[in-house]
Amino acid sequence: MLEIKNLHASIGNTKILKGLDLTVNSGEVHAIMGPNGSGKSTLASVIAGREDYDVTDGEINFQGNELSDIGPDERAREGIFLAFQYPVEIPGVSTTNFMKTAVNQIRESKGEKPLDAVEFLKLMKEKMKLVNIKQELLSRSINEGFSGGEKKRNEIFQMAMLDPKLSILDETDSGLDIDALKIVSNGVNALKSKENATVVVTHYQRLLDYIVPDFVHVLMDGKIVKSGDKNLALELEEKGYDWIKVKN
Amino acid sequence: MSKDDKILKEFTSKEYEHGWSVDFDVDQAPKGLNEDIVKLISKKKNEPNWLLDWRLKAFSNFKKMKEPNWSNLKIPRINYQDISYYSAPKKKKMLKSMDEVDPELIKTFEKLGISLQEQKRLSGVAVDAVIDSVSIGTTFKDKLSELGIIFCSFSEAVNEHPDLVRKHLGKVVPAKDNYFACLNSAVFSDGSFCYIPKGVRCPMELSTYFRINASNTGQFERTLIVADEGSYVSYLEGCTAPMRDENQLHAAVVEIHAEKDAEVKYSTVQNWYPGDKNGKGGIYNFVTKRGICNGINSKISWTQVETGSAITWKYPSCILKGDNSVGEFYSVAVTNNYQQADTGTKMIHIGKNTRSKIISKGISAGHSQNSYRGHVKVMRRANNSRNFSQCDSLLLGNKCGAHTFPYIDIENKSSMVEHEATTSKIGEDQIFYCLQRGIDEENAIALIVNGYAKEVLKQLPMEFSVEAQKLLSLTLEGSVG
C-alpha cells in the first residue's frame, strides 16, 4: 500500500529525513518510535503532503502512485488520513459542518452524490459510538476549548467518518489520561480491517499496549535504524534509545 | 512565484457576477448639478411644493459644504458636474399592476434572481425594485395593505401619503447632516417607503432591490421606514451594478423611526460593482443610514454584509432616545483588490437603561484597505446604559490593511462600555488541516471565512443568509496569505 524509498526531506536548510525506507501493506499496523527530534512528525507530515517540507530525494508510492506531484487534499481523497498531534482550532466551524464539507467533497471526487442531511446524520451517529463522543461536542467550533482528550477523540471520530486506507496517528497518546487512551485505542482497533493500514507514531511504548503493532521501527537521525516486532518496543522501553545508538 | 502569491493571483482574477447591463429606452437628465436639475427632478416626480422647497434648501446648503476628509479613504476628486442625476426607464403610461411592467425590466431582475411576478416569488418576501432613478414596481402591495402596511416607492408615498412622509422626512438624517446626505436631499430620485401601523407584525420580509444600469449616472435613493407602536418589520436591501470603467456615485439615505415597543431589523447585502482587479471603475458608495429608537423599549438592529463598491463610506447608526431601547450593529465587510472601506456605526445613548451591541468583522485581501470606525456616546442622563463592541479583523495576504478607530464618549457614571478587538490571519495550519481532510483550498477558505463571520451571518433572514455565505466565498475564493 505504502512504499517509501530513500526519502530525504528538509525544512529550510535543515535536513530532517536522510534516506528513509518503509513498506506498509494492507492489514498491517506499524509503529514508528524514536527520540525527540528524530523526524517522526516530519515523516507523518511529508506523507500527508505538507508543503512546508521539501522532499529533496527519494519517493513515496501510495497504491502504486508516486505522490510527489499530488497535493495534500488529493492525497486525503485517495485515502491518506493524518490524526494531528496538535489539532487546529477553526472558530465558527463545527465539527459537523467540517466533516460534512469533507465527506461530500471526497464523495464528489469519486463521482458519488453528496449525502443529504438525513444520510449524513445517520453516518455520524454510527461513528460517534466508536469513540464515545457526544453530539454537543460536534456542534461546537472544532477544537475550540476542547480538552486534550476531546481533541484526540475528535481526530479519531474524523478518521471513522472518512474511512481512510492509510491512517497515520501522530503522537495520538500525548496528553491523554489512561481512560481517554483506552477509548481512542478502542476506536482505532475497531476501524482496523484487512483493507486498511495504520502507522502509529509515538514516543512511548504505553500506547502499543492498546494498539498492538505488527512491526516496530526505530527512527533516529532521519533514518530507520532498526525494525522488529512488538517486542522491540518493550526492549526499547527497558533499555532506552541509547541502547540502539551504542549498538550502531 | 510562491504558493501564497499563486493563490492570491488566482483569487484576484475572480470576476464580478452581475457586471452585465441591459439596453432599454431611458429618459435621462443632462449631466450637471444646478438648481434647474433639482427642479427638473422634482417636476418629473410631480412633487408638491413643500418638497421642492426642501430640496432647494438642501441644495443651497450643499453648495456651502465641503467633502469630508476625515475618513481613512483615498477618494479621487469627483466631478459632480459630470454626472447625470436622473435616469429612468421610459414608460408608456401609468402602470396599474406588475403585469404591465416592461418585460425587459422584469427579465433584468430575473437575471439577478429576483422575480417580480408574485406567484413565482418566495411567498415570504415583498420586493420594491428600483432601477437607476425610479422604482419600477412593488410586489404584494395589496396583501400588505390589508394589514394597513404601506410599502411602496418613495415617489408614490409622497403623492399618496404626504402627511406621513412630511412628518418623518429628514427628521433622523437632517438635510444638512453631512455632505453626501445633503446632496441626496437635493437630488434624490426614488427609493422605498414603509409604514407599519400600531401593533402590526409584518408577516413577510420587505425588500428593496437597487440596480444601477445606465452609465454616467449616479444613484441617489432614499428609504424611509416608520414602525409605529408595538410593530415589527424585517427589511432587506440588495444592490448590484454593471461593470464599467468609470466610477459611479451612489449616495443614499436611509431613515428609520421606531416608536414605543417597535422593532425594526434592517439587513443589507451590498454587492455594488467593486471595480476590476487593478482598481479601475467601481461604485463610490457614500451612504448615510440612521435610525431613532423614539419610544421606550424600541429596538433597531442593523446587519450588513458589505462585499462590493470601490469605496464604501457608511455608518448605520442608532439614536437610543427611548428608555430601555436597544441598538445593534452586525457587520461583515470584505475588501479585495484595490477596494477601500471605512465603515462602522454610531450608538448614541440618550435614554436610561439603553443597550447597544456592535459586532464588526472585517476581512481584507489583495491591496485593499478596510477600516472600522465606531462612535459610542453615552449622554449625561443615560443611567445604567450598556455597550458591548467587538471588532475583529482578518487579513489575507500581506499587502492589505485593517484599521480600527473606536471613539468612546461617556458622560454617565453608572453606564458601562466594553470594547474588544482582534486582528488575525488565516493560518497555514488551518488550511492544511482542511486540506488533509480532502477539502480543497477554495472550500477551505470559504469554510474558515464563513466561520469567522458566522456571528453576523446568522443575524440575516434565512433566505439571505445562504446567499450572503455564497457571496463571501465567491469574493474570497482562493485567497490565503
DSSP code per residue over B306-345 = E---SEEEE--EEEE-STT-EEEEEEEEEE-TT-EEEEEE
Binding-face residues of A in 149-208 toward B, CB within 8 A: 158, 162
B14 has pLDDT over 60: no
Alpha-carbon torsion angle B435, B440, B443, B449, nearest 10: 40
535504524: which residue's cell? A225
pLDDT computed for residue B11 by the predictor: 41
Side chain identity at B301, as an amino acid letter? S
B410 DSSP β-pair partners: B378
Match 462602522 to its residue by C-alpha cell. Answer: B344
Separation of alpha carbons A47 and B280, rounded Å: 44
- A93: closest CA of chain B, how far (Å): 5
Question: Which residues are B458's β-sheet partners?
Answer: none
Cβ partners under 8 Å of residue A239, min gap 6: none
Contact residues, chain B, for A91 at CB < 8 Å: 451-452
Task: Average the pLDDT over each of A161-175, B44-58, B237-251 and give the range with the smallest value.
Answer: B237-251
More confident residue, B130 or A209: A209
pLDDT attached to residue B7? 40
Q: Which residues of B touch A88 (CB under 8 A)?
A: 427, 429-430, 432-433
Instruction: Report how far apart, in Å, the C-alpha atoms of A134 and of each of A95, A138, A143, A185, B420 are.
Output: 11, 7, 14, 18, 32
Say if residues B244 and B282 touch (Cβ distance below 8 Å). no
What average pLDDT does the segment B279-283 reach?
83
pLDDT at B374: 94
- The full length of chain B comes to 481
Q: Which residue has the higher pLDDT, B317 or B112?
A: B317
pLDDT tops 70 at residue B98: no
Instruction: Tell me the per-residue pLDDT of B160-203, one tens digit each, with 9 for 90 and over.
Output: 999 999 999 999 999 999 999 999 999 998 888 999 999 999 98
Nearest to B3 by CA among B393, B368, B425, B397: B397
Residue-level pLDDT at B5: 42
Top residue of A41, A51, A67, A93 to mutate, by most chain B CBs within 10 Å, is A93
Q: What phi, psi does A151 have (nearest 5°)?
A: -60, -45
Q: Is B407 on the interface with A (CB under 8 A)?
A: no
Q: Report yes or no for ipTM above 0.90.
A: yes
| pLDDT at B95 > cutoff 70 | no
Rounded distance between C-alpha atoms, residue B388 and residue B405, angstroms: 15
Chain B CB contacts of A50 below 8 Å = 432
Instruction: For chain B, say whether A109 makes contact (Cβ under 8 Å).
Output: yes
**Residue in B104, B134, B155, B109 with CA at minimum distance from that of residue B28:** B134
Under an 8 A CB cutoff, do A71 and B427 touch?
Answer: no
Contact list, B427 vs chain A (CB under 8 Å): 88
Mutate to test the interface with B, among A52, A73, A146, A166 (most CBs of B within 10 A): A73
Contact B447 A48 (CB under 8 A): no
User: Domain locations in chain A?
Assistant: 2-247
Residue B90, Cβ neighbours under 10 Å: how many?
A: 10
* pLDDT tens readout for residues B326-336: 999 999 998 88
DSSP string, A47-109: HHT-TTSEEEEEEEEETTEE-TT--HHHHHHHTEEEE-SSPPPEEEEEHHHHHHHHHHHHHHH
Name the residue facing B436 among A72, A99, A105 (closest C-beta).
A72
- For residue A241, the model assigns a pLDDT of 83
Maximum Cα interatomic distance, chain A, rounded to a whole number of Å: 59
Q: What percent of chain B has pLDDT above 70?
A: 80
Residue B31 DSSP symbol? B
The pLDDT of B413-438, averaged and rounded, is 92
pLDDT at B352 over 90: yes
Distance of CA A203 to the CA centre of its chain: 14
What per-residue string of b and e applies to B122-148 under the rule 16 or more CB within 10 Å gives b? eeebbbbbbbbbbbbbbbbbeebeeee
Q: Where are the alpha helices (DSSP H) in chain A?
A: 40-48, 72-78, 95-109, 117-130, 135-139, 148-162, 178-191, 230-239, 242-247
CB contact under 8 A, B438 and A102: yes
Give the model's pLDDT for residue B85.
87
Q: How far apart are CA B395 and CA B54, in angstroms?
A: 45
Contact assignment for B447 to A90 by CB distance below 8 Å = yes
Residues B97-106: contacts with CB within 8 Å, 24+ apart? B98/B137, B98/B139, B101/B136, B101/B137, B102/B24, B102/B136, B104/B22, B104/B24, B105/B24, B105/B129, B105/B131, B105/B136
B2/A contact by beta carbon, under 8 A: no
Res. B273 pLDDT band, cuts 50 70 90: confident
> Where is B429: in which H helix or E strand?
helix B428-436
- The set of cell numbers assigned to B290 is 440612521
Q: What is the CATH architecture of A2-247?
A: 3-Layer(aba) Sandwich (3.40)
Return the exposure string of B239-249: e unless at least 16 CB atoms fall within 10 Å of the residue's CB, then b.
bbbbbbeebbb
Q: What is the pLDDT of residue B102?
A: 64
Check residue A109 and give its pLDDT. Answer: 93
Mean pLDDT, residues B415-437: 91
Identify the pLDDT of residue B137: 67
**Three state DSSP letters for B44-73:** HCCCCHHHHHHHHHHHHHHHHCCCCCCCCC
d(CA A145, CA A136): 13
Position B123 pLDDT exceeds 60: no
Nearest CB among A51, A92, A162 relative to B438 is that of A162
Q: How many cross-chain Cβ pairs, A to B, lie less than 8 Å apart?
A: 72
The answer to whether residue B24 scores a pLDDT higher than 60 is yes
Nearest CA distance, B2 vs chain A (angstrom) = 11
Residue whose grid cell is 492498546: A210
Tell me the chain B residues in contact with residue A96 when contact means C-beta distances shorter than 8 Å: none
Judged by average pLDDT, the poorest of A38-47, B54-63, B114-123 is: B114-123
Q: What is the mean pLDDT of each run of 10 residues along chain A (248 residues)?
A: 95 93 96 90 95 93 92 96 95 94 94 92 92 91 93 95 96 86 91 95 88 94 92 87 71
Distances (CA, A) of A69 to A8, A49, A51: 16, 9, 11
Give residue B327's pLDDT. 97
- Average model confidence (pLDDT) across chain B: 84
- The answer to whether B421 faces chain A, any CB pair under 8 Å, is no
Verify whether the Cβ–Cβ distance B437 to A102 is below 8 Å: yes
